Structure 1
Amino acid sequence: MREQLQNLLEQRVRQYVSQSRSEIHDCPFIERTKESCINRGAEILRITAEGKITKEGKTTEGTEVFYKVHYQYLIKQKNAFLIEERVEERKADFYKGILVEDNEINLDALEIPKVETNEVARNQEEQDEVEEEVRKSFKYDRLKAVQYAERWWNDYNPAFKSFDVDCTNYISQCLHAGGAPMLGFSNRSKGWWMRNNNWSYSWSVANSMRWYMPGAKTGVRAKEVNSPSQLLPGDVICYDFQGDGRFDHTTIVTAKDADGMPLVNAHTANSRRRYWAYEDSTAYTPNIKYKFFTVVDDH
C-alpha cells in the first residue's frame, strides 16, 4: 500500500512540474515562485521535484499521507545562473486508493513561542552582568557560518535540539559555527546559548533574537542597516509577516544574486538560496516588515 501511495504522489509531483511549464495554475507554490522571479527580472529555466512520504495513517474516511516535495529551480538573472532549493510539506488524503485532496502545509506561518518584547528589553539591561561570566572576543568567520548553513539547510544537526519551528535555532547554529560564543547559561531570559537540552529565548525564538542581537554588548551582536543590499554572506534578516511588531522568522544570507541582493537559507520551511523578500511565501502579507542585521565582531 505504501509503495502504491508513493507512486501516486510521485505522479502528482511530476504533474506540478509539467503544469508549471504550461502555465496551468494548479500549484500555487510554484506560481508564487515564478511571480517572485519575474518581479526581480529573473526567469525559471527548469524545475525538478522529488516527493517522499514522511508519515501516513488511517482515518475514518481513508488514508492521510504527509509528504515532502524537494524542488530545485534553475534560475537565470541577467547573465548569471543560480539554483534555488525549497522543501514544501504537504498533506494528501486518499479514499480507496484515489487521491481526493492534496494541500500545502503552511510552515512559514506556524505559531512561534511568545516572548514579550518588554521582557527581552528588561533583561537586556542586565546583559553586561551576564556576559562578564565569559567575556570572549571573537572574529566572525562568515565562510564557516555559510558552510554550516549550506550543510544543514535541509537536515538537522544531532548535536543540537531541533524544534517544530526551527528557523531561529538553525540561524543560531550558523552564527555559532562562525565563531560567535555562547553566553549567559541557565537563565533562558538572558544571554544567547544552548546546552544540555536547555536554551535561551534569544537562541530559539525569532522575536527574541531580533531584540537581542542589536542590544548585546559582546558575544553575538549585530548592527542594523537600512537596505538588504548592504548585507554580506553570514548576515541575518528578521521577518515580521503581519507587521504587528512581533517578528516571526529568521534567515541567514548565503549568497547574492546578479543585482547584489541577498539569497537566504532557512529552516521550518527549509530553503536554500531563496530570494530574501519572501514574496512567494504563504505567510507574506502587504504589511510585512524586515530588519536587516550585519554581524559585528571584536576585530
Structure 2
Amino acid sequence: MACQAGQAFFKGRMNLRSHIERSVKDMRKYEIPVAGRNLYLHDEFNYGIDARLPAHYKTYYREWQRGPEKFRALAFQYKDGVFEKDEFGQVRRIQNHSGIILYPDEFHEGLWGGEGVIKGVQAPKPAKRWPNTGQTVPRYWFPKTHQAVVYSEVLDQALTVTATPYGEYLVDQYGSLDSYLLQEPVNEVYSRFLLRLKREILLALVRRDLYPHNERRKAKLLAKYEPYVLPDEEADWHGLSLKDARLKQGEMDRLAAQRAQVPQKIALRRELVDLLKGGDMDEVDADLILEPEGDSTLGTAFKSVSKNISKKFK
C-alpha cells in the first residue's frame, strides 16, 4: 500500500511538473520587460497563424480592441484642455481620471450600448468635526438592464435580448437595429452577439438572399443599405472573434494543402501523356517498358500502363 501511494504521489508530481512547464512555455511572452512585451503584443499578428489572417480582419480586430469610448467619456465627464479655473478663480490642472469599466459576459450577449460595470470607490460620509476621516468603500456601479425585443428588418427576425435604456436610445436615434449595427463603429458596438448579428446582416445584403418571396421589399432594403455593404470576403470575416478567425484560417490552410497534394498516379499519368504527345515514346524499347530495371524514372508509370503500351509496339 505504501508503495502504491508513493507511485501515485510521484506520478501526480510528474503530471504537475509537465503542466507547469507547458504553462510557463505558453506564458513566456509575458516575461518580456514592459516595453518589449508591448512591442510583441502590438506586432502579434506577424507571427504564426495570425500572420496569415486577412488584412481587413486585422484592421477590424484592432478597431474592436479599442472598446467603447463614448460611454467612457460620458461616465467620467472628460474635459478638453489642460488648465481651468476653479470656483475661487485659481488656475489648476484638469484631472481626467481614466477609471475602470468592466464588460462581463452578459454584456456580450445583449444590447448595452457600450455601457459597462464601473469599478471604483465610494467616498466616506462627511463628519462634522473631522471631515477628512473615514475609509473609502470599494463599489461597483451596475447599469440598469431589462428584457427587450429588437427587430432586424433585413433578416426579418425578432430577438429577445437584455438591453439598457441607453442601448435602446441609440437604436431609436439610428432608426432601426440594422442601421445602428451598420453605421455605429465596431468598437462602440463591441458586443460579440451584436457583431455576429451584423455579420449575418452583411452576408444577407451582399448575397442578396433576403426576402426571396417579396422582391419589392428586397429592392427597397438593398437600396437603403447599399452604402454600408462590404465585399463578400470581408463580410464573411466581419464579426468573428479572434478564436473563430484562427479556426477559419486553419481550415482554409488545411484545404489549400490538401488541394496542393497531387496523387502520384495522376502526376505520373500526366508525365506519360506529355511524353506520348511529344513523340518521345517512339524510340523506347518495349522490354524496358514491360520490365523496368534500376533507377528508371519512368519505371513506375510504365508498369501501371504496360498492357496498353505493349499493344502499341506489337
TM-score, structure 1 normalization: 0.24
- Using CA pairs under 8 Å that are at least 6 residues apart, name the structure with larger relative contact order, 1 or 2: 1
Bigger Cα Rg: 2
More helix by share: 2
